């Protein structure tokens, strides 16, 4: 695969495993085992069965007729919001819990921003009867309160991260700290295509079901498996990577990744990593991240907890650098308006993360015959209080 990972765990200049000595055995175990486990027919059968009967896959590819009329192209929504637990995050959580079981792990830790990955992880831990601890920034616990309650109801312990901006980056730091302290019995279910190799590749593989299904569904609905555009929002980048994966080598398919501009790229309150970032190391991999001149991570900001992250996964950094995908950004206000528009034109209330991808349609011009697929990464129930506060319902 032209844009895939090499044997050393790199995508071009990005990736690798920059980890403390204490984590070496865990990460090395994963590196040696993940391909073997993922290609084991029994593992694949169990993964596929759970995706079908528990998650509800395949998720529909919906031709959004009113959006298509409005934007002058054939707009399709890949409905990850209809998955069990309400987002794409469950695809990866199912894959990693099955992997953790095969590695004999007894305790699961995770980080979460919007709470969707935390809920997905708490869900699969309940399913398998395994202890679950989720780290979450204190600010995110407030703005995504429904998901905190869901995790607790599912039996997980939710631990607030109270350092830095008290958001996703800080939760990730806490989870890594826990893993360093509990290297033997614990598996860390990272929720995006970030972290040391092999995580970015492993998570991308679990999420690649999104584009695998999309190709088949497009062929049925349009007569061609290749659209002109594929679009997704990017926090760490897992729904985007799942949506891009099987289109990467189809160079004619334009890939558009939408970052969170927050209050504006130059406002000092933003999470638009490719606009503001430089190359460096974050959470175990070499990537692009927002940092000061002396290499300190700059606190990101977005109204969307799931996009409020100062980096992107290393494969995204590579796709950005070699220009295979286009990285753009959308502000808080633009995303909220897009969330409202989608609710009222298509009857689908999207997550605020997802609404960033939808908002970018406003900035594009299409040919009437263009087929455009947007990853509807999650549903907006968790964001109702933010929508209500903004629009004053
Ligand atoms: C619905 C939804 N979409 C997107 C994201 C962003 O994550 P990623 O970039 O890994 O897809 C999140 C993160 O929590 C989310 O909940």
Q: What is the pLDDT of residues 85-135, one digit of tens each?
A: 999 999 999 999 999 999 999 999 999 999 999 999 999 999 999 999 999
pTM (2 d.p.): 0.98
pLDDT (0 to 100) of residue 316:
98
What are the CA-CA distances from residue 312 to residues 67, 122, 191, 213, 338 (Å)? 29, 24, 12, 25, 23
pLDDT averaged over every residue in the chain: 97
Atom of ligand 1 nearest to the CA of 80: 1
pLDDT (0 to 100) of residue 6:
98
Contact 135, 178 (CB under 8 A): yes
What is the CATH number assigned to the segment(s) 16-50+89-203? 3.40.50.1100
Atom of ligand 1 nearest to the CA of 240: 11
Residue 267 and residue 261: Cα distance in Å, rounded? 9
233 within ligand 1 shell (Cβ under 6 A): yes
Domain 56-86+208-391 architecture: 3-Layer(aba) Sandwich (3.40)
235 within ligand 1 shell (Cβ under 6 A): yes
Residue 224 and residue 229: Cα distance in Å, rounded? 13
354 within ligand 1 shell (Cβ under 6 A): yes
Query: Averaged over 332-356, what is the pLDDT?
Result: 98
pLDDT (0 to 100) of residue 131:
98
Residue 49 and residue 57: Cα distance in Å, rounded? 9
- Domain range summary for the chain, segments of one domain joined by +: 16-50+89-203, 56-86+208-391
Q: What percent of the chain has pLDDT over 70?
A: 100
Same fold, 16-50+89-203 and 56-86+208-391: yes
Tokens 């991570």 sit on residue: 297
Q: How confident is the model at residue 305 (pLDDT cuts 50, 70, 90)?
A: very high
- Rounded to the nearest angstrom, the distance between the alpha carbon of 239 and the centre of ligand 1 is 6
Q: How confident is the model at residue 1 (pLDDT cuts 50, 70, 90)?
A: confident
73 within ligand 1 shell (Cβ under 6 A): no
Instruction: Say how far residue 93 (Cα) sits from the centre of its chain.
Output: 12
Pick from 231, 172, 271: nearest CA to 376: 231
Lookup: tokens for 42: 């029994």
- Rounded to the nearest angstrom, the distance between the alpha carbon of 307 and the centre of ligand 1 is 7
Query: Averaged over 290-319, what is the pLDDT?
Result: 96
Please confirm whether the linkage preceding 26 is cis (ω < 30° from 0). no
Query: Averaged over 353-368, what is the pLDDT?
Result: 98
Sign of the CA dihedral 29, 35, 38, 40? negative
Residues 6+ apart with CB under 8 A from 35: none
Residue 150 and residue 26: Cα distance in Å, rounded? 29
Query: Catalytic residues, which ones?
Result: 89, 111, 377
pLDDT (0 to 100) of residue 318:
98
């Amino acid at each position: 695969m032209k844009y895939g990972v090499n044997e050393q765990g790199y995508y071009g200049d990005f990736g690798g495993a920059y980890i403390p000595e204490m984590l070496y055995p865990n990460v090395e175990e994963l590196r040696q085992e993940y391909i073997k486990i993922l290609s084991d027919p029994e593992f694949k059968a169990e993964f596929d069965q759970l995706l079908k009967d528990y998650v509800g896959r395949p998720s529909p590819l919906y031709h959004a007729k009113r959006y298509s009329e409005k934007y002058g192209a054939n707009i399709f929504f890949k409905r990850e919001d209809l998955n069990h637990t309400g987002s794409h995050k469950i695809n990866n959580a199912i894959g990693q819990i099955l992997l953790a079981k095969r590695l004999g792990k007894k305790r699961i830790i995770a980080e979460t921003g919007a709470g969707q990955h935390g809920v997905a992880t708490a869900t699969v831990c309940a399913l398998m009867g395994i202890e679950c601890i989720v780290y979450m920034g204190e600010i995110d616990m407030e703005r995504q309160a429904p998901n905190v309650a869901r995790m607790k109801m599912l039996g997980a312990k939710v631990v607030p991260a109270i350092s830095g901006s008290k958001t996703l980056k800080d939760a990730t730091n806490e989870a890594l700290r826990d893993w360093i302290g509990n290297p033997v019995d614990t598996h860390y279910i990272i929720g995006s295509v970030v972290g040391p190799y092999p995580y970015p590749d492993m998570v991308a593989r679990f999420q690649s079901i999104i584009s695998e299904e999309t190709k088949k569904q497009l062929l049925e609905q349009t007569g061609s498996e290749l659209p002109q555009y594929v679009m997704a929002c990017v926090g760490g980048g897992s729904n985007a990577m799942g949506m891009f994966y099987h289109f990467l080598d189809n160079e004619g398919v334009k890939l558009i990744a939408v970052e969170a501009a927050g209050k504006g790229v130059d406002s000092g309150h933003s999470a638009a990593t490719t606009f503001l970032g430089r190359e460096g190391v974050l959470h175990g991999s070499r990537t692009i991240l927002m940092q000061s001149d002396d290499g300190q991570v700059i606190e990101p900001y977005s109204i969307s907890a799931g996009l409020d992250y100062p980096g992107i996964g290393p494969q995204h950094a590579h796709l950005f650098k070699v220009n295979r995908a286009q990285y753009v950004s959308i502000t808080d206000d633009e995303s909220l308006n897009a969330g409202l528009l989608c609710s009222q034109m298509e009857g689908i209330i999207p997550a605020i993360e997802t609404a960033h991808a939808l908002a970018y349609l406003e900035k594009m011009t299409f040919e009437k015959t263009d087929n455009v697929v947007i990853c509807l990464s999650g549903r907006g129930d968790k964001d109702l209080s933010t929508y209500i506060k903004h629009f004053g319902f």
